[in-house]
Chain A
Amino acid sequence: MAKVKIQKKDIWIDMTPMSDVMTLLLCFFMLTSTFLTPEPVQVNAPNSVSEVKIPEQDVLNILVTPEGRVFLGTENKNNMQAMLDEMTDKNGVSLNATQIKHFREDAMAGAPMNMLAGYLNLEPEKMGEAIQKLGIPLDSINGGKSEFQQWVSAARSANPDIKLAIKCDSKTPYASIKKLMSELQDMNENRFQLITNLDVKRLND
């Protein structure tokens, strides 16, 4: 019987064009993308047909979770530091170097002032979990400004050109957002931007 000869064929595929395409794609993604800013809590913004873009700089992001917890932060770490300094001065809280370092590494501020030192003492891995149960209080202190209002005015004095951008979950009850907006109105911060996702379907209708 004749041996069945399995012909060994060289199945070499030339990967060079594929590699070229990949490189191009990679370059495209690297150049066009901006990194996601980490947020302490996942928030799903509602849809709208508005096509106004948010500026990249000088924005104070105010995050409101479905439970009505408020976090805020800005992309400029030096401004965040200035805000923290003003807040600790006003509230008589003193922080050590490690705590300040932790604060700078955090994306957003969200701890009440009386719990701030304790929160910043935590390990960085535990901070992400702990902050989800905190939030900046909206209650006025002895009839005066609330901590949230103090933070906003600290942001305003750190950067007078700052714009307010509110990112709120679509399931947040209107009562929470009403309180927040009314506090902003009280301090004459009347212009703000509501962050939304583009509703392409409605736009084309």
Chain B
Amino acid sequence: MAKKNLSKQKKMDTRVNFTPMVDMMMLLITFFMLCTTLAKPQAMQLTMPSNEDTKQLNEEQKQVTKASHTITLYLGSNDKVWYIAGLPNYDDPSCVKPTSYGKDGIEKVLNEHTTEEGINPVAKIKLAKKELDAKKNAYNSKMTDEQYQEQLKKLKRGELPSGEKVPALTVIIRPLNTATYANMVAALDEMLISNIDKYVIDNIDKLSEDDKALIEKAGVK
């Protein structure tokens, strides 16, 4: 036994100690992990009308949109949100109903909104979009991105693949001055989720007196 050990010691040990190198690598990796952003931030494209033609646009839209195809959202303080389905009834403040952000709030309201034709356009469009997504993500799908975008555009206009035409909703978003930026983004997010292309962010300072009185009566703040 002892002899064997002795003979081994004579051999030259050519192993290099890598521990310091590993230490350094660890430090470098930590540095890179802390100082970098892996995921690029996302962005939300927003196109606003220019201030000069806002008035004109609104009047045009009022004429073409049926009452039951419109939903107005009021974003208030403390993450509260109210909605009016259809045209406001200025004599009855109870047409302004409270709801919340997220899946069981605005999304549900939009999803279950029934138009005068007796259909739920948002739910129908959402279903069609799901099918379209499935087709796009299918194993041997040959759908290009352009084709997908084109189909999506059609869907958002309310043209279902079955040939049925459903009305596209118009949503008027009115953030109050007490709302936060996150509220506005959350509302825009709902438009994205519900595939609504026609939405306006309205300036609360330019509301008509009737609207102002109505929301005050309904306790929107």
Q: With A46-B186, A169-B181 given, is the CB distance from A53 to B43 under 8 Å?
A: yes
Interface pair B182/A171, CB less than 8 Å apart? yes
Nearest A-chain residue to B15, judged by Cβ: A12
* Closest chain A CB from B149 CB (angstroms): 12
B49 at the A/B interface (Cβ < 8 Å)? Answer: yes
Question: What A residues does B47 contact at CB under 8 A?
Answer: 190-191
Per-residue contact bits, chain B 17-44, to A (CB 8 Å; 1 contact, 0 not): 1110110011011001101111111111
Interface pair B181/A168, CB less than 8 Å apart? yes
Interface pair B41/A196, CB less than 8 Å apart? yes
Task: Of the listed stretches A20-28, A99-107, A114-122, A150-158, name the one at the interface; the rest are far from the partner chain.
Answer: A20-28
* Closest chain B CB from A76 CB (angstroms): 18
B94 at the A/B interface (Cβ < 8 Å)? Answer: no
- How many angstroms between the C-alpha atoms of A181 and B35 in the bound complex? 32
* Closest chain B CB from A62 CB (angstroms): 12
Nearest B-chain residue to A184, judged by Cβ: B48
* Closest chain B CB from A59 CB (angstroms): 9
Interface pair B32/A30, CB less than 8 Å apart? yes
- How many angstroms between the C-alpha atoms of A56 and B188 in the bound complex? 24
Interface pair B185/A48, CB less than 8 Å apart? yes
Chain A interface SS verdict (over half)? mixed
Nearest B-chain residue to A168, judged by Cβ: B181
Question: What B residues does A138 contact at CB under 8 A?
Answer: none
Pick from A49, A167, A184, A193: contact of B189, CB below 8 A. Answer: A49
Where the two chains meet, the residues of A that have a C-beta atom closer than 8 Å to any C-beta of B are: 12, 14-16, 18-19, 22-23, 25-26, 29-30, 32-36, 45-54, 56, 64, 165, 167-178, 181-182, 184-186, 188, 190-199, 202, 205
Return 29 A-B CB contacts under 8 Å, by A number: A14-B15, A14-B18, A15-B21, A18-B18, A19-B18, A19-B22, A33-B36, A36-B37, A46-B185, A46-B186, A48-B185, A48-B189, A50-B43, A50-B44, A52-B42, A53-B40, A167-B41, A168-B181, A170-B181, A171-B180, A174-B176, A174-B180, A181-B48, A185-B50, A186-B51, A193-B43, A195-B41, A197-B41, A202-B102
Knowing that A16-B18, A195-B43 touch, tell me 16 more A-B residue pairs with CB under 8 angstroms: A18-B18, A19-B25, A26-B25, A35-B36, A48-B42, A49-B192, A54-B42, A167-B41, A172-B181, A173-B179, A174-B75, A190-B47, A190-B49, A191-B47, A194-B185, A202-B189
